[in-house]
Amino acid sequence: MRGQRQHSRVAFACDAIVSEPLPLPVSAPWIVLKFGGTSVSTTARWKTIRDLAAARRAEGARVLVVVSALSGMTDTLKGVCAELDVTQRLAVWARIESRHAALAAALGLAPEAAWRTQLQSLHALLAQAASPQGALPWQAAVMAHGELLSSALGADFLGAHWLDARGVLHAHAQPNQSERVQRLSATPGNRAGCGRGRRAGAAR
């Protein structure tokens, strides 16, 4: 999908984290909470995210949580994109599965929770027999799974509505951009599907 970034942080809206939240007026503001890799890698950090999001929701704001991949995961996926051997790629996938499964278990999630759909999607990409190293769309799809996994896992834990950012963010090609930059480091525009709001906090 040219001009639309596949490797992007993924967001999810939080309503269910507050017990019986009061209905919000149409004019209620959006607050965006952004958390980097270290902040989404442990149970304690996810509990902090839950508490922060619940506090903002209780104040009457619509909360949008934006997360990165687990710490070190983007580098892992970047490395596997350069791996020619399918067996080695799937060995890396097994380590990725083990790490996310351990975090999911620590968070008390069901073994077959929704985040495993993303895990199987990554497996299918890495299992392709012919090495698609030069295929930028393939690389972008693989790289995106860091955020897809962490956000789906987090949404399960928070009981929130998961939102795939690739469907709401719009990237614009800049003059003289290479196809690689367009695919892997696209610049988002001003239009998104969640309305206007303000950035309320960040943690890394």
CA pair distance 111, 11, nearest whole angstrom: 23
Question: From the DSSP assignment, how many helices (H) and strands (E) are in the chain?
Answer: 6, 5
One digit per residue, the tens of pLDDT, for the chain of length 204 reads 333 344 445 556 555 454 556 678 888 999 999 999 999 999 999 999 999 999 999 899 999 999 999 999 999 999 999 898 999 999 999 999 999 999 999 999 988 778 899 999 999 999 986 655 558 888 889 999 999 999 999 999 998 888 887 777 766 777 766 665 655 555 555 554 444 433 333 333
Angle at 119 between CA 162 and CA 84, to 5 degrees: 135
Residue 11 and residue 155 in contact, taking contact as beta carbons nearer than 8 Å:
no
Q: What is the pLDDT of residue 131?
A: 55
Give the H or E element holding residue 199: strand 197-203
CA-based nearest residue to 69, from 8, 162, 146: 146
Q: What is the pLDDT of residue 11?
A: 56
Q: What is the pLDDT of residue 204?
A: 32
Q: 104-133: string of b/e by CB count within 10 Å (b at 16+)? A: beebebeeebebbebbebbbebbeeeeeee
Q: What is the pLDDT of residue 124?
A: 96
Residue-range domains of the chain with CATH: 10-203 (3.40.1160.10)
Threshold 0.85, pTM exceeds: no
DSSP string, 24-65: PPTTPPEEEEEE-GGGGSSHHHHHHHHHHHHHHHHTT-EEEE
CA pair distance 202, 199, nearest whole angstrom: 8
